[in-house]
Amino acid sequence: MNDVCGAITRKGGLCQNRRGAACPYHTDDERAGATSGQEPIAQEREEGIPGRRDAITARDLHAVAWRLLEDLLEDDRVDAARRASAGATLIRVVEALGEPPVSREQAAAEIALRGMVMHGMPPRNAEEWALAEELFTPDAIAMFRTWKPGGDDAF
């Protein structure tokens, strides 16, 4: 009698009745349906979904939230109303997180470019010009094009 019933309840959870097969609330068919549908999920949790595990290991909250939303939308064990509610909550979380972080190299390039512009030096090469066009307004880019190109004599 160590086993619990394990049948799927009306709310989408698992019945925790300690009588197991003698649970007065669920039939053997309900318990069989819950366990047959549960084996792949339990195995999936043990093995871990590569994308989700990688996102958690990397502490990438954006990726974790998107993976959870994807899993939620594909999970037919939970009724549609609960999925919609949980999905809306996850979308609010993603929205509150803001833009996903950029790589360290990208952040360093942005900081260097902003520092150059702050000191009156326009971008030096095509890569910096492309980054400047992402970061600044068209009016600012037009103004940068009027500046004297930087170099050793710029200081």
Specify whether 74 is located in the same domain as 119. Answer: no
Domain count of the fold of the chain: 3
> What span, in angstroms and rounded, lies between the C-alpha atoms of 20 and 25?
10
Q: Is the domain of 53 the same as that of 63?
A: yes
Reported as a pLDDT band with limits 50, 70 and 90, residue 80 is confident
Question: Based on the domain organization, do 61 and 42 belong to the same domain?
Answer: no
pLDDT tens figures, 52-78 = 788 778 778 888 888 888 888 888 777
Q: Is residue 76 part of a domain?
A: yes
Confidence of residue 155 (pLDDT cuts 50, 70, 90): very low
Residues 95 and 118 in one domain: no
* Mean pLDDT of the region 72-95: 86
Tell me, yes or no, whether 52 and 84 share the same domain.
Answer: yes
End-to-end CA distance of the chain: 82
Same domain, residue pair 97 and 109: no
67, 86, 101: which is the final residue of a domain? 101
User: Quick check: is 117 in a domain?
Assistant: yes
Which residues have CB under 8 Å from 23's CB, separation 6+? 5, 7, 15, 17, 31
Question: Which pair of tokens denotes residue 63?
Answer: 């990726």
Final residue before a domain boundary, out of 81, 101, 121 = 101
Tokens read off for 30:
């309900």
CA distance 123 to 121: 7
Q: Which domain holds residue 131?
A: 104-150
Instruction: For residue 18, give the nearest of 8, 29, 31, 5 by alpha carbon.
Output: 5
